[in-house]
Amino acid sequence: MQGGEFSISTSKKMEFIDITERISDAIGAAGSTARSGICYIYNPHTTAGLTINEGADPTVRDDIVAVLKQVIPMDYPYKHLEGNSPAHIMASLMGSSVTVFVEEGRLRLGTWQKIYFCEFDGPRSRKVLWRMV
Amino acid sequence: MQGGEFSISTSKKMEFIDITERISDAIGAAGSTARSGICYIYNPHTTAGLTINEGADPTVRDDIVAVLKQVIPMDYPYKHLEGNSPAHIMASLMGSSVTVFVEEGRLRLGTWQKIYFCEFDGPRSRKVLWRMV
Amino acid sequence: MQGGEFSISTSKKMEFIDITERISDAIGAAGSTARSGICYIYNPHTTAGLTINEGADPTVRDDIVAVLKQVIPMDYPYKHLEGNSPAHIMASLMGSSVTVFVEEGRLRLGTWQKIYFCEFDGPRSRKVLWRMV
- Sorted by sequence, the CB contacts under 8 Å of residue B126 that are 6+ apart come out as B7, B8, B9, B10, B43, B45, B48, B117, B119
A–B CB contacts, 8 A cutoff, strictly below: 87
Domain ranges of chain A: 2-132
Weakest mean pLDDT among A18-27, A46-55, B32-41, B120-129? B32-41
Which pLDDT does position B5 carry in this prediction? 96
Calculate mean pLDDT across residues A69-75.
95
Any chain C CB within 8 A of the CB of A3? yes
Is the per-residue pLDDT at C46 higher than 80? yes
Any chain B CB within 8 A of the CB of C90? no
Which pLDDT does position B126 carry in this prediction? 98
ipTM of the prediction: 0.96
Compute the nearest-CA separation of C99 from chain B (Å): 9
H or E element in which residue C6 lies: strand C2-9
**Does C2-132 carry CATH code 2.60.120.460?**
yes
Alpha carbon A114 to chain centroid distance?
10
Rg of chain B (C-alpha set): 16
